[in-house]
Amino acid sequence: MAWFRRTKVERPADGSMSLMEHLYELRKRLMWAVVFIFVGVVLGFIWFDKPVGPIPSLGAILIEPYKVAIGNEDARLLALNPFSGLQLQLKAALMAGLVFSSPGWLYQIWAFVTPALYSKERRYAVSFVTLAAVLFTLGAYLAYLVIPEGLRVLFGFGDTSVVNMTGPEQYYSFLMTLLIVFGISFLLPLFLVALNFIGVLKGRQLAKWRRYAIFAMFVFAALVVPGNDPISMLALALSMCLLYEISTQVARFNDRRRGRNNPEAEQLAALSDDQASDL
């Protein structure tokens, strides 16, 4: 592990680092992130078919929406090649490993970025990262609840002429895609509020764009939802519309707070683009 260590270098009083020191630091953080992810993947691989106390196994959790959609607690996926089971377990273990190890690798990213931030920026960064994790989890959980209803709709087509038997590759691809799409879409309000906090967007602008935003979100849901079932698309579009309205109100509240602290700046910001200011 000699390559993992480097000679101690005396840093300037302001804490600045040379290019080579940044590269050494990046290498160290990346190695620790890989170690955390590897440990999480191993735990996820073991958990896939072994329950942990009252918690069912990872495989049972992931296949539950399929069982609910079929209406059969003994339903199983149809593997068409001998490697389907192994590939499925590896993919599920990787996903679970990224979640399990997220505190570790997120801390490594945070430790690498922190020296370049001021104390106030660090406080904002911690809040936004925490909210991002919460919103992504809520989005993925909503997708997990919606998946059975979406599958029921998809399985309902051609019901009298086909037998609905799904392979693990197709099912888990649908499952993972929907979880990721919902999770990322739930980050929309955080992105809008961040733009408002740095002064790029105003609350009144978000309110003015509401109609166009709602139309765009419904189109977005129709394009990104796999399978194009109406239940999942409607759930995603309505959730994004609600989150957009919440971010609009938060931005308005922040604008009013800024106006109380700096009324001159608020008056200037309220002027239209073709109106001259007193300055």
Residue-level pLDDT, tens digit, the chain, 279 residues: 444 455 454 555 555 667 787 788 888 889 998 999 999 899 988 888 888 888 888 888 888 888 888 777 777 777 777 667 777 888 888 888 887 887 788 788 877 777 766 666 667 777 777 888 888 889 989 999 998 888 888 777 755 666 666 777 788 888 888 888 998 899 888 888 888 887 788 888 999 999 999 999 999 998 988 877 888 899 999 999 999 999 999 999 888 887 765 555 555 555 555 555 555
**How far is the first Cα of the chain from the last one, in angstroms, to the nearest whole number?**
63
C-beta separation of 244 from 252 below 8 A: no
Contact present, 183 and 98 (Cβ < 8 Å): no
The secondary structure element, H or E, covering residue 102 is helix 102-113
pLDDT score at 3: 47
Residue 170 tokens, joined: 């197709």
Query: d(Cα 198, Cα 72) in Å, to the nearest integer?
Result: 52
Backbone angles phi, psi at 120, to 5 degrees: -65, -40
Three-state DSSP state, 198? coil
What pLDDT, on a 0 to 100 scale, did the predictor assign at position 175?
A: 85
B/e letters for 128-162, b = 16+ CB within 10 Å, e = fewer, are eeeebeebbeebbebbbebbbbbbeebbeeeeeee
Is there a contact between 69 and 155 (Cβ–Cβ < 8 Å)?
A: yes
* Nearest residue to 99 via CA among 41, 42, 152, 59: 41
- Give the Cβ contact number of residue 272 at 10 Å: 5
Task: Give the start-to-end residue ranges of the domains of the chain.
Answer: 17-116, 117-268
- Whole-number pLDDT of residue 4: 46
Q: How far apart are CA 166 and CA 78, in angstroms?
A: 6
Q: Please tell me the chain's helix, strand, coil percentages from 3-state DSSP, rounded to the nearest 5.
A: 75, 0, 25
Q: Are 244 and 217 in contact (CB under 8 A)?
A: yes
Half-sphere exposure of 220 (CA within 13 A, CB side): 19
